[in-house]
Amino acid sequence: MVRNMRGAVLTLLALFALAACGGNTDNPVDNSGKPADNGTVIVGSANFTENVLLAEIYAAALEAKGVKVERKLNIGSREVIYKQLESGGLSVLPEYNGALLSYLDKTNAAATTAEVNTALKGKLPAAVELLDSAKAEDKDSVTVTKETATKYNLKSIADLGPVAKDLVIGGPPEFKTRRQGIVGLKEVYGLEFKDFRSLDVAGPVTVSALKKGDIQAANLFSTDPALEVNDFVALDDPKALFGAQNVTPIVNKAVGEKARTVLNSIAPKLDTATLTQLMRKVSVDKQDPDKVAKEWLKSVGLA
Amino acid sequence: MRIFSVAWHWFGQPEQWTGSDGIPNRLLEHLYYTSLSLLIAAAVAIPLGLLIGHTNRGGFLVVNLSNAARALPTAGVLVLVVTLSGIGLLPVIVALVVLAIPSILVNTYAGVRQVPRETVDAARGMGMRGGQVLWQVETPLAMPLIMTGLRTAAIQIVSTATVAAYVGLGGLGRYIFDGLARRDYPALVGGAVIVVGLALGTEGAFVAVRSLIAKRTQGE
């Protein structure tokens, strides 16, 4: 047993020694770069409910028009999946135009939908294209409980100025390092919170932490039914830190004309109220996203 | 091998060694969650295992319940307790204790049951009472299996304590969860490597303790 242990430790050390001589590149676990088989559209999504729902809507709409679809849903944060779209590992992603622009260009100040989309087209790499934006917007928000809002008389993020130093804010780990997060809150609003807690992506952990008072402010999404259910208040964003956030499909260049037409036909039908309703069906009534997607597409004549 | 070279580079950065997000602090947090959970799990499972082993009552039920409990996903237990009590140390400790109890309990029970009947009968024949049989005969003879249970539990806890980061606490899981979300792969791999090292170290510590005990008992 003791000898086994020693062997294991020695092997580990040897691995390290070998590794130390190796090359240095930015992404050691990226094994993508294999574009899809002819005609198959690979629909991906980030790891939060609404993005999965949107991806199901795209996928079901494509299938209804006879396009072959493969689903790779609930993968990870933008930081992870965007690269996959660029390399062709994924062909379609539901995106939010403002957040994507912020990711590609940390200093860009475009705020309206048109401004954001124009700026985006200039920033996207050759392999990635932007399709039509829907009216539906899902913004990152700084959300507080009704009691907190009343106690400090909070209406907008700017009102947090005098009290932020006493509040703990929670959100997904990437919220801390993104401009549309702690970085921008400090730059644009001059806010420095008492502490930041890394939680999940606007999921049950963040919601219950806010409800129980473990955190006093949270990064939640504006279409999240949990806001309504729990009497949370999403603070206004007068300086447009979170900018326009229209639901917009982005596709890999390899995606064909037919699939693009189908995806663009969804945009005019989808507004924020619709999206919130669909979200409520999924996250409050616990219906399956694929079922909700199909029903809605049928009701608007897209499937 | 590239994975290891970027992680190696990550270890070399001076900022990795200071502050609340530095390796020493994260390691201490991790050890804190681990040892607290192991202690609580042992305090519950060892007495219970000794008792049911000694009385031979409820063994079937407890062993099967424990085995069923092994199927509980730790992340599920964690989020369940979070929704009931909010974030903090409690959900993490509950989830890890639930994870650790089965292996300690089942091994302790088995350890007492595998003591030969003749030995127990001989002890009774010498006039030992029930408690004396338990403490002076059954417990020492069950020790190797109890230690095995503790060792299994400790290694499971060490590697699973990374989930603490999912609910906003620290520990080595911070590197893994944050690294994944921020595409900071060196941190991700570095964190994973430390966890592996810690698990191996835990195994090593238990082996060392056991051989120490073995030497002492042989020496007597």
Q: Which of A237, A208, A231, A226 is nearest to A276 (CA)?
A: A226
pLDDT at A200: 87
pLDDT at B90: 92
Tokens of B192: 């994973």
Query: Model ipTM?
Result: 0.71
> Is residue A199 within 8 Å of B87, Cβ to Cβ?
yes
pLDDT at A22: 41
Q: Which of A206, A203, A234 is nearest to B86 (CA)?
A: A206
Contact criterion met (CB < 8 Å) for A204 and B185 = no
| pLDDT < 50 regions, chain B | 220
Report the mean per-residue pLDDT for chain A: 86
Averaged pLDDT, A143-157? 93
Q: What is the tens place of the pLDDT at every residue in A197-222?
A: 989 888 888 999 999 999 999 999 88
Contact criterion met (CB < 8 Å) for A212 and B166 = no
Tell me if chain B has a CB within 8 Å of the CB of A214: yes
pLDDT band at A8 (very low <50, low <70, confident <90, very high): low
Cα torsion angle, A189, A195, A196, A197, sign: negative
Q: Concatenated DSSP letters for A229-280?
A: HTTEEEPB-TT-SS---BEEEEEETTS-HHHHHHHHHHGGG--HHHHHHHHH
pLDDT at A5: 54
pLDDT band at A47 (very low <50, low <70, confident <90, very high): very high
Report which secondary-structure segment, H or E, holds A187.
helix A184-189
Cβ density class B79-89: b for 16+ within 10 Å, e for less: bebbbeebbbe
Burial class (CB in 10 A: 0-12, 13-18, 19+), B197: middle
Alpha helices in A41-129 (DSSP H): 49-64, 78-87, 97-104, 113-123
Alpha helices in chain B (DSSP H): 2-12, 23-55, 59-69, 74-85, 89-113, 117-125, 130-132, 139-160, 173-181, 185-219
What percent of chain A has pLDDT above 70? Answer: 87
**Direct distance between the N- and C-terminal alpha carbons of chain B, in angstroms, rounded to an integer:** 50
CA distance B177 to B184: 10
Return the number of other C-beta atoms located less than 10 Å from residue A2's C-beta.
11
> Is residue B182 within 8 Å of A183, Cβ to Cβ?
no
pLDDT at B13: 86
Helix (H, G, I), strand (E, B) or coil at B34: helix
How near does any CA of chain B get to the CA of A10, in Å?
A: 12
How near does any CA of chain A get to the CA of B17, in Å?
A: 19
pLDDT at B182: 85
Return the number of other C-beta atoms located less than 10 Å from residue A125's C-beta.
11
Q: Which of B148, B124, B157 is nearest to B40 (CA)?
A: B157
How near does any CA of chain A get to the CA of B178, in Å?
A: 5
Length of chain B: 220
Backbone angles phi, psi at A24, to 5 degrees: -130, 110
Tell me if chain B has a CB within 8 Å of the CB of A209: yes
pLDDT at A120: 94
- Which residues of chain A make contact with B83, given a CB cutoff of 8 A? 204, 208
Q: What is the tens place of the pLDDT at every residue in B73-82?
A: 888 899 889 8
- Give the residue on B whose Cα is nearest the Cα of A178: B182
> Is residue B107 within 8 Å of B113, Cβ to Cβ?
no
